[in-house]
Amino acid sequence: MSRDLIKWSHLPTISSMQNEMNRMLDRFFRGGELSDFGVESGTWIPPIDLSETNDKFTIKAEIPGIDPKEIDISVNNNTLLIKGEKKEEKEEKGKNFYRMERRYGSFSRSIDLPASVDTNKVSAEYKNGVLEINLQKKEEVKPKQINVKVS
């Protein structure tokens, strides 16, 4: 099979649909999620990592190429919502695209939060294409250390 460059087209081909089905099945059988299957053109879902310590929850989202001023983060009814848009680079005259795999367009990601999150203590930092959101836990749910007195 020849691996010649083929000019990129907006219209899906049988092989591109087959490749998408293969990726979907790979994610399914590796235990991944199918969150971007069936996503409309012009939208995408950034992948996240969610971790927990005794004091806080941390969410890291990969959203490279976005101006941090264009990211909207809100908490409503114990749901964290991250929204934004990755603007497509303008095509230059005379440039032919043979492959376009990076996603562009608007994105929205919602994460249900446990009741133990203090929604008044949320901070966010964007560095090297990764958005890190720290959500502090309420004081009453943090583990308390109890000292044992020796008599």
Going by C-beta distance under 8 Å and a sequence separation of 6 or more, which residues neighbour residue 71?
63, 82, 83, 84, 124, 126, 131
Per residue in 14-64, pLDDT tens?
Answer: 777 777 787 777 767 765 544 444 444 456 788 899 999 989 999 999 998
What are the chain's domains? 14-139 (2.60.40.790)
113-133 pLDDT, tens digit each = 888 899 899 999 999 999 999
Which helix (H) or strand (E) covers residue 60, if one does? strand 56-62
Could you give the 3-state DSSP secondary structure of residue 69? helix
- For 10-49, the DSSP string reads SS--HHHHHHHHHHHHHHHHTT---TTTTPPTTEE---EE
Can you give the pTM of this predicted structure?
Answer: 0.63
